Copies of this chain bind each other. A is one copy, B any other.
Amino acid sequence: MNFRGLLIVVSGPSGAGKGTICKALVKRDPSIVVSVSATTREPRNGEEHGIAYHFYDKAAFLSMIDNDGFLEYATVYDNYYGTPKQFVIDKIASGENVLLEIDIQGALQVKKKYPEGIFVFVLPPSMKELKSRIVGRGSETQESLTKRLSSAYSEIEYIKNYDYFIVNDTVEHATDVLQAIISAEKCRVDADIEEIVSKFKEETENA
């Protein structure tokens, strides 16, 4: 009944668990298409082109920027990262649902280019829990921990730009909620509603 697919943008502060939820979602529903980022950084051992990332050289990446080829992009330590636009647009046009996991700055850029997307903000169950998750990774100094927490603190303000929030209390429950959001959004009365009404009218004439 839904003609266009959905772009589901899952975002939130780092440590909230958005990656885990996205993996769990795709495992449950393999029909969901995952958006693969492009980057100019070198492939690491075992990273395949088109699976981990689309690996581009800098000239190709810059040319894509010039041609409005990204839903969003950013530079991190001299490397470019971005979300190729055409892939997402084509999949949606063919009725497929595309999942994009991305940080908050990226999500805000995507929203400008594709406001029809479904923007989901993943919250940790509490900031206490977020802290213990980041500490649990064991890779943080006291300084970087303080920085991460303070960044998460201020990033939560951006929730206002989103359509939905999910509290990541358990992966199971958070994935349930993400699935429910997708099911519900497929039934939204939106721009396609005229087509639905026409379909029913045709059928009435043949009834």
Residues in chain A within 8 A of chain B (CB atoms): 1, 121, 123, 126-128, 130-131, 149, 152-153, 156-157, 159-160, 162-167, 176-177, 179-181, 183-185, 187-189, 193, 196-197, 200-201, 203-204, 206-207
Contact = CB atoms under 8 A, between A and B. Distances in A.
Contact of A183 (B123, B126, B176, B187): B176
A127 B184 CA distance: 23
Nearest to A124: B200
Nearest to A166: B187
A193 B1 contact: no
A156 B179 CA distance: 28
Contact of A159 (B166, B176, B189): B189
A184 B164 contact: yes
A171 to B, nearest CB: 16
